[in-house]
Amino acid sequence: MMQGKKAFIFGVLNDYSLGWHIAKQLHEHGCETAFSHMPGEKFERRVVKAVAPFDPRFLTPCDVTNDADIAAAFQTAGEKFGTFDILVHSIAFAPADTFEKPFLETSRESWRTALDVSAYSLVALARAALPLMNPGGSIVTLTYHAAEKYIPNYNMMAVAKAGLECSVRYLAAELGRHPKHIRVNAVSAGAIKTLAASGTGDINSMIEHYQQKAPLPWEDGPTDVGKSALYLLSDLASGVTGEIHYVDGGYNTVGW
Ligand code: NAD
């Protein structure tokens, strides 16, 4: 399904990462892959090992809070890929104390950091990607239900996800009308054990909660997320943009 397509994927840390599961689906369907990693040898080593099964075209360092890093990453993409079809944004961060303290205690600095890394980065990456993206290209980001409803401890990350989801709609409107007709969508994933999720609170109880309440069994969330992202990134979703697509076993549809 993805033969001849090329994907630039941001946000793989290890083989638990949702970005990794999206890459797996893309790779299995014939897509070429390339990855960013946080700057530093320790991160590079981890990511090189994790993505080895996908035989990536290149890896490049990029801290998304640094404009020079973003420019350098896309310069590398231009050199190695020429053009590409798919951008995956699977990145989020908020300072640890924002998950522990009451929301009322959120500092200006924590607000700024969470929004910068978790929401503004989508806009910055989309802008840098546009000149290199092929017509009909597709961008997918990852969000969470806390953007819409109160979830204990999520605090600043919830606010950042609300900003991210709104950014998806604005980017979709502008890039859809751009001559390249680029689509922009978000997958809203249910609770899944990853490094980022472990920092947000008691992820095991959240997963149990999904398993008890969701209409469908919530047993292989990472694969479910990978498959739905594959659909949104493929031509099967050619008429779909600006969507927040829930992949949570239906959890968001129940009211108890
Ligand atoms: P993860 O820890 O595997 O991935 C988070 C990634 O963000 C890592 O690769 C990390 O290096 C990267 N990152 C953080 N700060 C960065 C920066 N300044 N520059 C560049 N990269 C940076 O965890 P994950 O759960 O796979 O998270 C991926 C996305 O999925 C996030 O947006 C997260 O909010 C979202 N999500 C996760 C869940 C879940 O339950 N795991 C649910 C819904 C949405």
Q: pLDDT tens-digit profile of 52-63? A: 999 999 999 999
Owning domain of residue 23: 6-245
Q: Which atom of ligand 1 sits closest to the CA of residue 199?
A: 2
Q: Is residue 72 part of a domain?
A: yes
- Cβ–ligand 1 contact at 51 (below 6 Å): no
Q: What is the 3-state secondary structure (H, E, C) of 34-49?
A: EEEECCCHHHHHHHHH
Q: Which atom of ligand 1 sits closest to the CA of residue 190?
A: 42
First to last CA, the chain: 39
| Active-site amino acid positions | 144, 154
Strand partners of residue 183: 138
Contact assessment for residue 187 and residue 228, using Cβ atoms and an 8 Å cutoff = yes
| Nearest Cα residue to atom 3 of ligand 1 | 17
Quick one: tokens of 220?
């292989």
Quick one: tokens of 82?
């020429």
pLDDT tens, position by position, 72-124: 999 999 999 999 999 999 999 999 999 999 999 999 999 999 999 999 999 99
CA of 179 to the centre of ligand 1 (A): 31
CA of 137 to the centre of ligand 1 (A): 22
CA–CA gap between residue 227 and residue 184 (Å, rounded):
17
pLDDT tens, position by position, 22-67: 999 999 999 999 999 999 999 999 999 999 999 999 999 999 999 9
The pLDDT assigned to 200 comes to 87
Task: Return the closest-CA partner of residue 207 out of 16, 51, 22.
Answer: 16
3-state SS class at 209: helix
pLDDT tens, position by position, 157-206: 999 999 999 999 999 999 999 999 999 999 999 999 999 999 888 899 99
CA–CA gap between residue 157 and residue 95 (Å, rounded):
9
Residue 60: DSSP 8-state:
E
Confidence category of residue 256, pLDDT binned at 50, 70, 90 = confident
- Cβ–ligand 1 contact at 11 (below 6 Å): yes
Contact assessment for residue 143 and residue 196, using Cβ atoms and an 8 Å cutoff = no
List the CATH number of the domain containing 74.
Answer: 3.40.50.720
Q: How many domains does the chain have?
A: 1
The pLDDT assigned to 201 comes to 81
- Cβ–ligand 1 contact at 140 (below 6 Å): no
**What mean pLDDT is reported for the chain?**
98
Q: Is residue 254 part of a domain?
A: no
Q: Which atom of ligand 1 sits closest to the CA of residue 191?
A: 40
Q: Is residue 255 part of a domain?
A: no
- Cβ–ligand 1 contact at 92 (below 6 Å): yes
The pLDDT assigned to 152 comes to 93
Q: Is residue 250 part of a domain?
A: no
Q: Is residue 1 part of a domain?
A: no
Task: Return the closest-CA partner of residue 178 out of 240, 141, 130.
Answer: 130
pLDDT value at 214 more than 90:
yes
